[in-house]
Amino acid sequence: MRAIDETHDPQLTSWVSSANRAGCDFPIQNLPFTVFRRSGSAEPLRCGVGIGAAILDLTALGAASATDDTVAQAIAACAQPSLNALMALGAPAWLALRRWLSKVLRTGAGESGRLAAALVRQSAAQFAVPARIGDYTDFYTSIHHAIAVGRLFRPDQPLLPNYKWVPIAYHGRASSIVVSGVGVHRPRGQLMPRGAECPRVGPSERLDYEIELGVFIGRGNRLGEPIPIERAEEHVFGLCLLNDWSARDLQAWEYQPLGPFLAKNFATTLSPWVVTLEALAPFRAPWRRVAQDPSPLPYLDCPELRDAGAAEIELEVALETAAMRARGLAPQRLSRSDFRDSYWSIAQMVAHHTINGCNLAPGDLLGTGTQSGPRPEQAGSLLELTAAGARPLVLSSAEQRAFLADGDRVILRGACQRAGFVRIGFGEATGLVLPPA
């Protein structure tokens, strides 16, 4: 597990004044990574670090900016159109770069004059998916989501017997992962109308979101060599927000016997910011289960997990309809949940994924699955919030929503807060629902 050090000092401030504003997502204690170019330019994509309302262009700095060889190597790895090379260097390089960035960006740093020329306003940037994602696996780590969905479809057995033993997952589609701000077309597929004898093909009428966290793999493992759970987080670079768009009517017809397919593979939206595990160190918490639940099998358990394997990350979903935009109404928050309530941890996801010898690579993405809390208002999808459409939500615009309509914009947010430390945020992951292509 990453340790708390001087980079988390709540007294630190930055010469980038916007990083010192109350409620800022990207104070100097955060330093999330991103990939971007200046809007309207033809310049290559480049790696950067969020600081306040700006991005520090790491490509513009050059490796000569650092005197330490490890930091120089890390900056050189950032001279790429993705974060993969930096991810592949491993935790020692990530930590060295973070400490260097903290020093040169803090108030009074002698490098402020030179580095100021490498700042780009976030509002003037065009973002990209942060890494070349070779493989994408989506887990099902929230027991509250699993039970709520199970009750809708299997009232007599809402939670299947393997759930408390196995971190359930399925392999998703990497090619349709898009960055925040990219529109998502309503998918088409086979639908089985209630009472019909044969399916029809048409656009989904039950389009939904799922709020998740994305887990980016850093250093990979060789084929045939499992990652032990006590070393699992050494292979994790950081986290982002993830919207696993879901066509519930396509899903209901196709998911047996092999699980999700067209209902999920048409789009997955990521936030452009990757918050490192180093930044999350102050917000770790003991991993625990209720006493009557089974203890995990040995390959999914270790003292480090029980001491600090969980993370307190507050998650929020908001909805902005076309009518809200036309009337100048603010987006309406639909739910709030916390990753602290997840049944399975990040380390357990990595350990289970590789127990059979599966090889992970830098830039691979793991989704946590929908993050729902124990209370109904903490549900992470419309499927749960509306009881599969039976109880539509009434919005501030007087509209109703059972599922998403064309023109709806879904907004995901995340943040960590704890007394004695500075709040850090994850930015936003937004997606506008477009009509079928």
Those residues whose C-beta lies under 8 Å from the C-beta of residue 381, and which sit 6 or more positions away, are: 145, 208, 209, 210, 211, 246, 370, 372
Residue pair 187/204 in contact (Cβ under 8 Å)? The answer is yes
**Distance between CA atoms of residues 409 and 321, nearest Å:** 6
> In this structure, which long-range contacts are made by residues 92-100, counting pairs with CB atoms below 8 Å and at least 24 apart in sequence?
94/218, 94/237, 94/276, 94/278, 95/2, 95/278, 96/68, 96/70, 96/71, 97/70, 97/71, 98/7, 98/31, 98/276, 98/278, 98/279, 99/5, 99/6, 99/7, 100/66, 100/68, 100/71
Cβ distance 12 to 106 under 8 Å? yes
Is 353 a known active-site residue? no
Q: CA nearest 339: which of 139, 141, 146? A: 141
Measuring CA to CA, how many Å separate 234 from each of 23, 50, 92, 300?
A: 30, 23, 9, 15
Distance CA 18, CA 26 (A): 9
Q: Write the CB contacts of 125 (distance below 8 Å, at least 6 apart in sequence).
A: 36, 37, 38, 39, 55
Which residues have a Cβ under 8 Å from the Cβ of 22 and sit 6 or more positions away? none
Owner of token pair 């040169």: 104
Segment holding 268, helix H or strand E: strand 268-270
* CA nearest to 384, candidates 160, 149, 159: 149
Active-site option among 8, 145, 235, 352:
145
Token digits of residue 435:
């009509």
Tell how far CA 62 is from the center of its chain.
Answer: 29
CA–CA separation, 204 vs 298, rounded Å?
43
Cα gap 72→294, rounded to integer Å: 47
CA geometry: angle 335, 339, 342, nearest 5 deg: 110
Which residues carry out catalysis?
A: 145
